[in-house]
Amino acid sequence: MRQLPLPVRLRDFALFETFEAGPNGAVVALLAAPAQAAPAAWVWGPPASGKSHLLQAACAAHAGAAYLPAAELWPGGPTTLAGWEDRSLVCLDDVDRLLGQRDWEVALFGLFNALWERGGCLVVSATTAPGAAGFVLPDLASRLAWGGVFRLEPLADDDRVAALRKRARHRGLELPEDVARYLLRRLPRDMRALCDWLDRLDTASLAAGRRLTMPFVREVIAAGRPERPVAPS
C-alpha cells in the first residue's frame, strides 16, 4: 500500500547551482545523474557538511524523486519506508538514525530491493562510513554502499567564499568578495552557520534599504552577536 507523501518541503536554495562542490565533485556528478549509477550509494560527512543540501538538490533536479528525512520517518515506524519503490530516485537523509534496529533495517532492505527491481536508485546520507554505522544486517551495509561511499570533504576558504556568494546571488544579493572573506574571519566557519548569518544579513539589508557593504555588515554583526562576558577579577 502506497504511503502518503511526507509533509517535507525542499528548501528553495537547495539546488546544484547553489552548491560549491570544491573537492566533492564526484558525489555531485553522481547525484546529478543517478540513473547512470548503481542501485544505491552512501554519502557521509559531519553535520553542516552539505549532505541535506545535496540530497535535496538531487530531488529538485529529478521529477518524481522522493526526499525522506529520517527524523520525519521515525514517528510513523518502519512502514513509512513502504510505497516509494516506483520512484526513480529516493534520497534518505540521516539513515544512521534508523540503523541498529532490525525492523527498520528489514524495511530498508525491502525498499532497496524494490527499487533495484524497477531500476531505481537509493541514496542515503549519514554522519559515518558504513563500517561505523552499527548495522544489524551486514548484507544491508554492502547493498547501500554498492555504488560507492562518498565522504564530503571540507571546503577550502576560497570555496567557502564562492559558496556564500552563490547563496547570496540566489537570494538576489550582491555579496562582494571582501565582505565574504570578512564573514569567514569573524563568524563560525561551518557553512550552516555562515548561511544562517547570510540570511540574517539579507533580512537586515531589506529592512534598512542598504547594500551589503563592509560598514553595514560590521554593524549587523556587532548588533547581533552578544558581547563576551567579562571574567571576574
What tens-digit pLDDT sequence spans the chain (233 residues)?
Answer: 344 455 467 787 889 999 999 999 999 998 988 766 679 999 999 988 999 999 999 999 998 899 999 999 999 999 999 999 999 999 999 999 999 999 999 999 999 999 999 999 999 999 999 999 999 999 999 999 998 999 999 999 999 999 999 999 988 889 999 999 999 999 988 888 898 999 999 999 999 999 999 999 999 999 875 333 333 32
Task: From 150, 5, 145, select the one nearest 83 (Cα to Cα).
Answer: 5
Interacting residues of 6 by C-beta distance below 8 A, sequence separation 6+: 68, 69, 72, 73, 80
Q: Whole-angstrom Cα distance, residue 229 to residue 180?
A: 27
Task: From 58, 63, 73, 52, select the one nearest 7 (Cα to Cα).
Answer: 73
- 202 and 104, same structural domain? no
- 111 and 185, same structural domain? no
Q: The pTM is what?
A: 0.84
- 57 and 119, same structural domain? yes
Domain boundary (151, 172, 187) is at 151
- 75 and 183, same structural domain? no
Three-state DSSP class for 30?
helix
DSSP 8-state class, residue 227:
P
Q: What is the number of structural domains in the chain?
A: 2
Chain position carrying cell 510513523: 76
Q: Are 24 and 53 in contact (CB under 8 A)?
A: no
- 126 and 78, same structural domain? yes
- 76 and 25, same structural domain? yes
Q: What are phi and psi of 20, to 5 degrees?
A: -90, 110
Sign of CA dihedral 58, 63, 65, 71: positive
Domain boundary (109, 125, 151) is at 151
- 131 and 23, same structural domain? yes
Residue 181 domain boundaries: 157-224
- 196 and 173, same structural domain? yes
What is the enclosing helix (H) or strand (E) of 140?
helix 138-144
- 220 and 114, same structural domain? no
